[in-house]
């Protein structure tokens, strides 16, 4: 170790009392950049968003296609939006688990002693996750195309993708709150799956609701996941912006309105 190049300044620059919005944005982007750097060393973290669409999309198409719709081709307009919603929504739990893990790491202590916006690590995490959702969405559409899905929504396909990504992003606030409050990442994962597994399967994602027993049909009818699935189907397959689209969008907005302040408050208390 040689001489440290350190003419220590006693603040040549002005001392600041707060972080500007521009700095906050730039710091959040840096946090997302860090997540991408981590991804290079731990690609297994992204297996869910990459492998799930690649493996499950054709698998479900070939297994259920004949039974449910009388053929793979006929099943695809129903399946692809359904499996897209399930994949992306389920992967939103990762926001909570990684946040929990991150907050326990030593590096988080360093962030807390740096003159940065305290919200930056959280914002960075939410930003990174949107990238994950976009990857899962693109891959699901691609796999659908490969097995023969030919959606007629045109430009609305993009809107469908955005709707799913936005809803998952809204949900990630819920998991982020859980991540801040829970003791372990495993707990976040467990609780998240316990909620989402029934929600995604007891919906119209894979089967038409009229094939369900009546009580289950009622549940599936009301299930918010069904609304998202229907909205996505309408957009992707026909290019229609229907009621379901607005219902879903409003629902997601309500989630953000409720959980974002809660999460930020809980997070600021701990961070």
Partner 1 sequence: MSDTKSEWAIEADGLVKTFGSNRAVDGVDLRVKPGTVYGVLGPNGAGKTTTISMLATLLRPDGGSARIFGHDVVHEQHVIRQLIGVTGQYASVDEKISGIENLIVFGRLLGLSHKAAKRKGEELLEAFDLADAAKRPVDKYSGGMRRRLDLASSLIAQPPLIFLDEPTTGLDPRTRGQMWDVIRGLVTSGSTVLLTTQYLDEADQLASRIAVIDRGHVVAEGTADDLKGLVGTASLLLRLADPEQTEAAVTSIHQVLGSTATVTPEAARLTAPMSDPERVTDLLIRLREQGIRLTEMSVQKPTLDEVFLTITGHGASTDDAEASDDAKEKVSA
Q: Which residues bind partner 1 (CB under 8 A)?
A: 1-11, 14-19, 23, 26-27, 30-31, 33-34, 37-38, 40-42, 105-116, 120
Specify the residue, 111 or 173, whose C-beta has the smaller distance to partner 1: 111
Q: Treating both helix axes as pointing N-terminal to C-terminal, what angle do 93-104 and 156-181 enclose, rounded to 10 degrees?
A: 40
Q: How many other CB atoms are there within 10 angstroms of residue 64's CB atom?
A: 16
- We find the least distance from the C-beta atom of residue 75 to partner 1, in angstroms, to be 41
Q: Which is nearer to partner 1, 6 or 67 (CB)?
A: 6
Smallest gap from residue 123 Cβ to partner 1 (A): 12
CA-to-CA distance for 78 and 67, rounded, in angstroms? 13
Under 8 Å between Cβ of 31 and 124: yes
What are the φ and ψ backbone dihedral angles of 155, each rounded to 5 degrees?
-60, -25
Decide whether 65 or 179 has the Cβ nearer to partner 1.
179
Residue 139 CA to its chain's centroid (Å): 14
The residue (of 27 and 167) whose beta carbon lies closer to partner 1 is: 27
Q: Please report how close the Cβ of residue 14 comes to partner 1 at its closest, in angstroms.
A: 8
Q: What is the spatial distance between Cα 16 and Cα 55, in angstroms, rounded to a whole number?
A: 51
CA distance 70 to 73: 9
Least distance to partner 1, CB of residue 98, Å: 11
| Whether the Cβ atoms of residue 238 and residue 152 lie closer than 8 Å to each other | yes
Closer CB to partner 1, residue 5 or residue 213?
5
Whole-number Å distance between alpha carbons of 235 and 251 = 17
Q: How far is the CB of 50 from partner 1 (least distance, A)?
A: 18
Q: Measured from the CB of residue 111, what is the shortest distance to partner 1 in angstroms? A: 8
Beta carbons of 24 and 124 less than 8 angstroms apart: no
The set of residues, in sequence order, having a beta carbon less than 8 Å from that of 13 and lying 6+ positions away, is none
**CB of 37 or CB of 67, closer to partner 1:** 37
């Amino acid at each position: 170790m040689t001489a440290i190049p350190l003419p220590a300044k006693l603040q040549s620059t002005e001392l600041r009392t707060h972080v500007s919005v521009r700095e906050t944005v730039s710091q959040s982007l840096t946090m997302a950049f860090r997540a991408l750097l981590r991804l290079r060393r731990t690609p297994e973290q992204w297996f869910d968003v990459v492998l799930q669409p690649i493996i499950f999309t054709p698998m479900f198409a070939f297994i259920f296609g004949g039974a449910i719709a009388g053929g793979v081709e006929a099943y695809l307009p129903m399946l692809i939006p359904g499996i897209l919603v399930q994949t992306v929504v389920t992967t939103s739990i990762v926001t909570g688990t990684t946040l929990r893990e991150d907050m326990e790491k030593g590096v988080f202590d360093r962030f807390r002693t740096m003159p940065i916006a305290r919200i930056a690590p959280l914002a960075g995490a939410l930003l990174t996750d949107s990238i994950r959702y976009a990857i899962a969405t693109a891959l699901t559409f691609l796999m659908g195309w490969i097995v023969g899905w030919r959606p007629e929504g045109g430009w609305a396909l993009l809107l469908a993708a955005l709707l799913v990504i936005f809803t998952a992003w809204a949900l990630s606030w819920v998991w982020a709150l859980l991540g801040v409050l829970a003791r372990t990442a495993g707990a976040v994962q467990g609780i998240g799956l316990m909620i989402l597994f029934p929600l995604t399967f007891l919906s119209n994602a894979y089967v038409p609701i009229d094939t369900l027993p009546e009580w289950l049909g009622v549940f599936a009818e009301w299930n918010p996941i069904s609304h998202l699935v229907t909205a996505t189907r309408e957009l992707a397959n026909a290019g229609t912006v229907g009621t379901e689209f607005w219902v879903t969008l409003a629902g997601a907005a309500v989630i953000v309105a409720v959980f974002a302040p809660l999460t930020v408050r809980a997070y600021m208390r701990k961070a």
